[in-house]
Amino acid sequence: MKPKLIFLTAVTIIVFAGLLIIKNKNQSKTTVPAAQTKEPQVASSPTIVDISAVFAIYTKGTFRIFTASKYHNLSDDVFIESANPNVVHVKKEGTTWGDFFKTLPMKLSAECLTTGTGQTFCSGEGGSLKFYINGQKVENFLEREINQNDKALITYGSEGDFEIKKQLEKADSIL
């Protein structure tokens, strides 16, 4: 009887050892080594800045004003105030001109401007929509980050160089 007991004990130990080996192999396949684990990413809060820039919008030679309260203080990150509604105040680093215009009750794309009163001006036969920053014509205006003392001009029409120069001078005189 003792040989059967010794045999059963030996078989039990071998089976138990085999199960432990299999379990350890399965765990090592699913466990990521500590060196490969990533720390949980904590969303960093945006850097607070204090940037001022100006913008002017002309449609067919008419200078647009933003004195109505519906345009003022619409975002904590980027806004205009009633005291000087052509001055853009930026409080969040990385804010683009597109971010700013999205806060206003109007629409602006690379091809069309829809004013707060619902008038639409799109590039085509009646004129073209053009964008300038600091006197230089730019194609990707809405993607540009707003920088300290930027002077932006959005103009729609068929103006020549002389009229554009006058509009740029107006933007320069605001800040």
Question: Could you read off the pLDDT of 113-123 as tens digits, one per residue?
Answer: 999 999 999 99
Q: What is the DSSP string of 32-85?
A: PPGGGPPPPPPPPPPPEEEEEEEEEEEETTEEP---SGGGBS--SSEEB-SSST
According to the model, what pLDDT value does residue 125 have?
Answer: 82
The span from the CA of 170 to the CA of 49, in Å, is 26
Burial state string for 138-150 with b = 16 or more CB within 10 A and e = fewer than 16: beebbebebeeeb
Same domain, 17 and 83: no
Q: Is the CB of residue 115 less than 8 Å from the CB of residue 107? A: no
Question: Could you read off the pLDDT of 32-62 as tens digits, one per residue?
Answer: 444 444 555 555 667 889 999 999 999 999 9
Helices (runs of H) and strands (runs of E) counted in the chain: 3, 10
**The model's pTM:** 0.72
Asked if the structure places residue 27 within a domain, the reply is yes
Give the structural domain span for 20: 2-33
Asked if the structure places residue 42 within a domain, the reply is no
According to the model, what pLDDT value does residue 25 have?
Answer: 62
Same domain, 14 and 95: no
Same domain, 66 and 140: yes
Confidence of residue 174 (pLDDT cuts 50, 70, 90): confident
The rounded Cα 75 to chain-centroid distance in angstroms is 14
According to the model, what pLDDT value does residue 154 have?
Answer: 97
Q: Is the CB of residue 15 less than 8 Å from the CB of residue 60? A: no
Confidence of residue 173 (pLDDT cuts 50, 70, 90): confident
CATH number at residue 161: 2.170.130.30
Same domain, 16 and 102: no
Same domain, 12 and 71: no
Same domain, 72 and 152: yes
The rounded Cα 2 to chain-centroid distance in angstroms is 80
Asked if the structure places residue 40 within a domain, the reply is no
Same domain, 65 and 115: yes
Asked if the structure places residue 38 within a domain, the reply is no
